[in-house]
Structure 1
Amino acid sequence: MTGHEISTEQPGYRVRVRIDGETVADSDRAVTLAETGYPLRHYLPRADVRMELLTRSETSTHCPFKGDAEYFGYPGYPDVAWSYAGQNAVRSNIQGPDITDLICFADERVEVTADR
C-alpha cells in the first residue's frame, strides 16, 4: 500500500497500564509503534505484563503489514490487548525495534500512562 508507513522505537520512558485501577503492566522497555492512520501504540514485553490476569481469546486478526494477531481479555474487557506472535509476525515491513511477541493494550479502553 503506497504511503503506508510503520516505524518503531524504544523511547526509554516508563509505560503503565491500569484496568479498573489494577496495574496490569509496568515497563521501561516499551516499544512505540507509529503507523499511518492509527494512534501511537505502546508494545510491552510479556515479562512486564501480568499475563496471569489476561485470558487468551479466540479472536485473531490479520494485518498485511504486521502479520497475525492473537488477542487477550481481562474480566469485563474482552480483546483488550493483542500480540503479533512468533512466526506469524511480519518483520520486513517495520523499521526499528521488533514488536514480535510484545503485548499492546487498547489505549482507548484502558488507562495507559507514559512518563515522558
Structure 2
Amino acid sequence: MSDHITIRKAAGKWVVRAGGAVIGESDQALELIEGSYPPVIYFPRGDIGMAFLEKTSKTTTCPHKGAATYYTVTSPDEELTDAAWSYEAPIKAVAGIKDHIAFYTDRITVEQL
C-alpha cells in the first residue's frame, strides 16, 4: 500500500443520506486515510441503494489509487451531479476499496450512527 494511505474497517455503523433520504447503511464500511486529508468513508456497493446512483462520463486518475468513476446521486429533492465516486479497478496497493463507493460530504451526508 502507498506509504501515505491507510485503509481500515470503519468502526460502528455508518449511514449515507441524500436530501434527507437514506440511500445506504453499513457496518462494513471502510475508512481511507490519505496523508493529511480528512478520512473518507467507503461503503460496500451492496449496502448502497444503487438505484439512486447513475454513472456519469466523468473520470479522474489518482497516482495512488487509480482511475475513479463518478456518479450522480438522485435524492427526493434534487440530482447531485458527480457527488459519489468509485475505484472500479484500483491499483493493487489499495485493492480493498474495490466494489466500494465514497461520497462528497459537502453535498451528501455521511455519518456514524
The alignment's TM-score, normalised by the length of structure 1, stands at 0.86
Sequence identity, in percent?
33
Farther off after superposition, 29-38 or 61-70: 29-38
Are 1:90 and 2:88 matched, yes or no? no
Measured in 2, the distance between the counterparts of 1:37 and 1:68 equals 21
Measured in 2, the distance between the counterparts of 1:53 and 1:107 equals 16
Match of 1:23 in 2: 22
**Structure 2: stretches of 5+ with no match in the other structure:** none
Paired residue for 2:107, among 96, 103, 109? 109
Report the count of equivalent residues: 108
Measured in 1, the distance between the counterparts of 2:84 and 2:10 equals 21
Measured in 1, the distance between the counterparts of 2:10 and 2:40 equals 12
**RMSD, aligned α-carbons:** 1.7
**Structure 1: stretches of 5+ with no match in the other structure:** none
The alignment's TM-score, normalised by the length of structure 2, stands at 0.88
Bigger fraction of residues in helix? 2
CA shift, 1:38, in A, is 1.8
Equivalences for 1:1-116 in 2 at 5 Å? 5-75=4-74, 76-86=79-89, 89-92=90-93, 94=94, 98-115=96-113
User: Which residue identity does 2:102 align to in structure 1?
Assistant: C
Q: Which runs of 4+ in 1 moved over 2 A?
A: none
Farther off after superposition, 54-63 or 31-40: 31-40
| Local SS of the residue matching 2:87 | strand
Q: Deviations over 1:78-108 (max 9, x none)?
A: 001000003xx1122x4xx711120001112
